Structure 1
Amino acid sequence: MTYKFAALALACGFATTLSAQNINSITQEQTTRIVSTLSSDDMQGRASFTPGIDKAAKFIQNEFQRVGLQPLPGKNSLMQTFEVYRVAPVAYKAKLDGQDVAPENIFATTEKTKISWKQKNKKALVRISEADDFRAALRNLKPDEDALVLVHPKHTEIFKRYQHYLGEGSVKQKLGENTSRVFILTDQQTEPSKYKIEVKNTIEKLPLTNVAGMIEGKRKDEFVVFSGHYDHIGIQEAVEGDSIANGADDDAAGTTAMMMLAEYYKKQPQPERTLLFVAFAAEEIGGFGSKYFSEQLNPDQIVAMFNIEMVGKPSKFGPNSAYLTGFEKSDLGKLMQKRLEGTAYSIHPDPYPEQNLFYRSDNATLARLGVPAHTISSVQIDQDKTYHTVNDELEQLNMEHLTNMIRAVALASEGVVNGEDTPTRVDKSQVR
């Protein structure tokens, strides 16, 4: 053991363990190899349901096999494949008081192949007036009733944005759980004496795949999850000839960190708790990968989740630092801080609460089930110019910082992994 790492271990208040001795086995060379592969043009931006995402899944599977990870309990494959439904509109027709409504002034949210409404169906009628807040009005719609929503032309811009988004189709984990709503852009503010609405959709069943591996611990039924999402947004409108949104920071960086931690912990003695390493699918289109994963395990057996996202650039707190979303919702962050005392690394509370980052990554699904599930990130989200653009390229990453972030998580997670630290549970009533 070098003096440097012995001092680190002592400063952190724990014995000179193998993990402290071998933290330098997490190398910048290996980090660069993995993140550059995941963010290469060959992956075509890793959009869900594309050949690019399939290539990425196969690469991650091969790396897990190389490291020696085992499938999750009860599984015989590292590939955790499941199906979702893509609902896409085919045709809209509407009449209000016998007058045709132009199709460009209609959109619908429904999971049905076809709906046909007439006034005798007695659907709820809702008006979003000129003075209303459009998004607030949407939130106030009753979740358990179908509704015809008349929208004042003042809201044309936001109406068109929703229409465009839904026109590309929406993905559902299950069908038949939600109500149907039809939105019509109109200056008619009186209740129509009669109406006729027809909507037709196509419904397609499509596969998604998480890649998940395990290092079995001495406590087989106590799980610690390390995760990152490996999907991104694929092909976009070209900027200076480049149309591939490579997603180097979002989230090839976090997925790389998770994969490197799998190899790191595989080289250590058998952990006290069972470690699960998961590359989630479909975070960008609704978090379907983490939702499916959460249904395969008893959440009460998951001690903690270290979700890693966008750690390829230094944070506002400086190099070798990151922040933890939802810091106040459990004491996992404080336990991590204690483990990092006296080292070159630091973890801080989320400095961007207005961004709702705690709910914008895969940790939120397990947090809602009471798991101390948080996301580790370092992106300066209020200033980052490459987020969800074709400029999120490998060249934008600080490889030294990314490598040090992986080392920091390795040190900060050790107490949870070896059974010495057990974070408090998230209060389910305090998450939405």
Structure 2
Amino acid sequence: MKLKLTALALACGFATTTSAQELGTITQDKVTQIVSTLSADDMEGRASFTPGIDKAAKFIQSEFQRIGLQPIPGEDDLLQSFGMYRVAPVEKEAKLNKSKIQPEHIFAITDKKELEWKHKGKQKVMKIGEDDDFRNVLRALKNEQEDVLVLVHPKHQEIFERYQHYMGQGSVKKELGDGNSKVFILTDQLSPKKYSIEIENKIEQLQLTNVAGMIEGKRKNEYVVFSGHYDHIGIQTPVDGDSIANGADDDAAGTTAMMLLAEYYKKQAQPERTLLFVAFTAEEMGGFGSKHFSEQLNPDQIVAMFNIEMVGKPSKFGPNSAYLTGFERSNLGQLMQQRLEGTTYSIHPDPYPEQNLFYRSDNATLARLGVPAHTISSVQIDQDKTYHTVNDELEQLNMEHLTNMIRAIALASEGVVNGEDTPTRVDKSQVK
């Protein structure tokens, strides 16, 4: 045992007040056990509104209970449930210049039960051309106030089909009202003189659930959040007979890290600040879990958020390294780096700014409210071939790296947890 602890001390550089023995409680065996359970086939890809995600929630809840976490402020249970609406297509018909469009080449983002559009100038028409960035246009459309018909060039067929599949399972809305609608059509007719569209949807009221627990600190109303999303994309088109998108890296790995950090901090003396550990639901469907969570607390009382996503594979910076999205938006990353000085661990600025990762995970909701909320990740997203596929399996993960990432976050977060470090706030006016 002494040899193992000595080796760990050398690996960590031992530059903080955290002892090697304490970090040694974060074991690779335990990491493997948790991430294996969350990414197993019997979780069925953990898609929202499925038995698989319910099973995952119960497992995380049982682990939180075993660890000894308490419900977060305002809750009387570790399960933070809330109602949503799912709008699922029943029938889709469209014509451009009298040419009928195949249903699989249509999807809509709407909260309406029925849509019936004809070319009378009432809908704005936009194009996603051959050289346009599909995701950038989609993000821009979030701020659009009018009904929009979006014509998508066939070059974007792969990403179009991905979105069409998601929307086919049902889009999720917090409220139903008089919001605008967007209809996307995959076509080479980007300047039609006439169009007609008819869409019929089924509307269901369903439930989503975050799993959230707390270790109360001496400063009860100063919160530090550790989080990861436990949902994924469920059952997909079979590839070599495999249809389950297990989501091992996205984000069973991050959820596992959050759970192991909860157990780690529970074994320490009472923290200075109150620690909140949250497994978010419905990140893949629009971040609804983190949005609901953010509405239950005063964001001014949240000192920092360590959101953890896709940390199961080594980063481009080498072993024991990760990056922080939105690094320049607060000094949380710098504070983390200072805590890791003298160790083999390192945190770097996000090397993929063109991917807009700061806005693509659950940190974004709290960052928009001024919280120093960032995502820790190590995935080489520009090269990763398993992202959102059935190949995101346990065998793709590097368990030694994942274990070291959890230990690194434990070291890097220590100053914020013990009240010695207070990161600067995010400028809300600079967050879109």
Question: In which range does the TM-score fall when normalised by the shorter chain?
Answer: 0.7 to 0.9
- How far off is 1:335 after superposition? 0.2
Which structure 2 residue ranges, 5 or more long, are not aligned?
A: none
- What secondary structure sits across from 1:45 in the alignment? helix
Residue 79 of structure 1 corresponds to: 79
Please give the TM-score of this superposition, normalised by the length of structure 1: 0.87
Equivalent runs, 1:226-241 vs 2, <5 Å: 226-241=226-241
- How far off is 1:151 after superposition? 4.0
Cα gap change, 1:61 to 1:119, in 2 (>3 Å): same
Residue 308 of structure 1 corresponds to: 308
The Cα offsets for residues 301-338 of structure 1, whole Å up to 9 and x where unpaired, read as 10000011111122111111111111111100000000
- What secondary structure sits across from 2:45 in the alignment? coil
Residue 47 of structure 2 corresponds to: 47
Residue 412 of structure 1 corresponds to: 412
- How far off is 1:283 after superposition? 1.2
Q: Is the 1:128–1:134 Cα contact (8 Å) retained in structure 2?
A: no
Residue 299 of structure 2 corresponds to: 299
Residue 146 of structure 1 corresponds to: 147
CA distance in 1, matches of 2:205, 2:362: 23
What is the aligned-residue identity percentage? Answer: 71
Residue 181 of structure 2 corresponds to: 180
The Cα offsets for residues 371-401 of structure 1, whole Å up to 9 and x where unpaired, read as 1111111112222222222222222222121
- How far off is 1:278 after superposition? 0.3
- How far off is 1:359 after superposition? 1.3
CA distance in 1, matches of 2:293, 2:416: 21
- How far off is 1:164 after superposition? 5.3
Residue 223 of structure 1 corresponds to: 223
Cα gap change, 1:49 to 1:159, in 2 (>3 Å): closer
- What secondary structure sits across from 2:77 in the alignment? coil
CA distance in 2, matches of 1:150, 1:300: 39
- How far off is 1:158 after superposition? 7.8
Please give the TM-score of this superposition, normalised by the length of structure 2: 0.87
Residue 384 of structure 1 corresponds to: 384
Q: Is the 1:23–1:407 Cα contact (8 Å) retained in structure 2?
A: yes
Q: Is the 1:11–1:341 Cα contact (8 Å) retained in structure 2?
A: no
Cα gap change, 1:37 to 1:9, in 2 (>3 Å): closer
Greater displacement, 197-206 / 406-415: 197-206
Residue 423 of structure 2 corresponds to: 423
- How far off is 1:115 after superposition? 3.5
Equivalent runs, 1:100-139 vs 2, <5 Å: 101=100, 104=103, 107-116=107-116, 123-126=122-125, 128=127, 133=132, 135=134, 139=140
CA distance in 2, matches of 1:95, 1:384: 37
CA distance in 1, matches of 2:147, 2:58: 42
Q: Bigger radius of gyration, 1 or 2?
A: 1
- How far off is 1:268 after superposition? 0.8
**Is 2:351 the partner of 1:318?**
no
CA distance in 2, matches of 1:197, 1:158: 23
Cα gap change, 1:126 to 1:212, in 2 (>3 Å): same
CA distance in 2, matches of 1:152, 1:318: 39
- How far off is 1:412 after superposition? 0.5
CA distance in 2, matches of 1:3, 1:141: 53
**Is 2:184 the partner of 1:169?**
no
Q: Is the 2:147–2:180 Cα contact (8 Å) retained in structure 1?
A: yes
Greater displacement, 39-48 / 289-298: 39-48
Cα gap change, 1:391 to 1:127, in 2 (>3 Å): closer
Q: Is the 1:226–1:258 Cα contact (8 Å) retained in structure 2?
A: yes
Residue 62 of structure 1 corresponds to: 62
Residue 269 of structure 2 corresponds to: 269
Number of residue pairs the alignment of both structures matches: 424
Q: Is the 2:113–2:203 Cα contact (8 Å) retained in structure 1?
A: yes
Residue 367 of structure 1 corresponds to: 367
